[in-house]
Amino acid sequence: MSQESLFELQRLDTETQRLRHRRVNLEQRATLEAALIEQAEHQVQIDAVGAARVEVAARQRRHEDEAQIVATKVEADVARLYGGEVQGVKELEALQHEIVGLRERQAGFEDQAIEAMEEAEELASRVISLEAARVDVDSRIGILETEITVAEAEIDVEMAQAAAGRATAATETAVELVAEYESLWPGFGSATVVRFDGSNCSGCPSVMPAMEVDRMKHEASDSILNCQECGRIVLR
């Protein structure tokens, strides 16, 4: 077993960790999340405008119906006015006054119907604009999802290659040393295995005591040790 196989094991584990982080944090994911929020907001607006259109259409029909009812009443009163059915002067004046009032009411209902119709046209235009925006964001979402799928596949290939290399490195390393390394990895990560630089453990934040330095200096050049200060695996 060579020291390099242990370093290779650590290098490949570090690379796999990097690839996993990269896969989870693809730039397109944040962009996709924002686009999905935008898509949902467009849909909420489209639904709100759709509900408003239903209400406006109902209001327009109601005003048109009301105008028609009054118009029918006006026609009936005009027929009475000129049909000779009403003879008294006061009765005629009252009927004429009623006709004038009815026509004013009819005009009011017709104006309200026209206002509702104009509002409906504005809402229809708003729907067209919102739907065009939604089509645009739908397209962007589709592109982003494809880009993410492609990027994930590429990273998965790299991870598979790293896994194959790790398996080879593990077979070239003593089983008990691999077990020790794997038990230390969660705490030290890419600095689990370090070299003795002649005066210190290169991964240790503490200054190595002189006795420990002397001990390591006198070990064989290919020795695999543990730092008494931090616990890392130290290659001599």
Domain boundaries, the chain: 15-172, 174-236
Orientation angle between helical segments 3-24 and 89-171, nearest 10 degrees: 170
Residue type, 51: A
pTM of the model: 0.70
Q: Exposed, middle or buried: residue 140 (CB in 10 Å: 0-12, 13-18, 19+)?
A: middle
Nearest to 169 by CA among 8, 3, 2: 8
**pLDDT tens, residue order, the chain (236 aa):** 567 899 999 999 999 999 999 999 999 999 999 999 999 999 999 999 999 999 999 999 999 999 999 999 999 888 877 777 767 777 767 878 888 999 999 999 999 999 999 999 999 999 999 999 999 999 999 999 999 999 999 999 999 999 999 999 999 998 988 999 999 999 999 999 988 776 677 677 667 677 777 777 767 766 677 777 788 888 87
Q: Does domain 15-172 have CATH number 1.10.287.1700?
A: yes
Nearest to 204 by CA among 191, 219, 220, 221: 191
Structure tokens at 31: 């962009």
Does the CA dihedral 57-62-66-68 come out positive or negative? positive
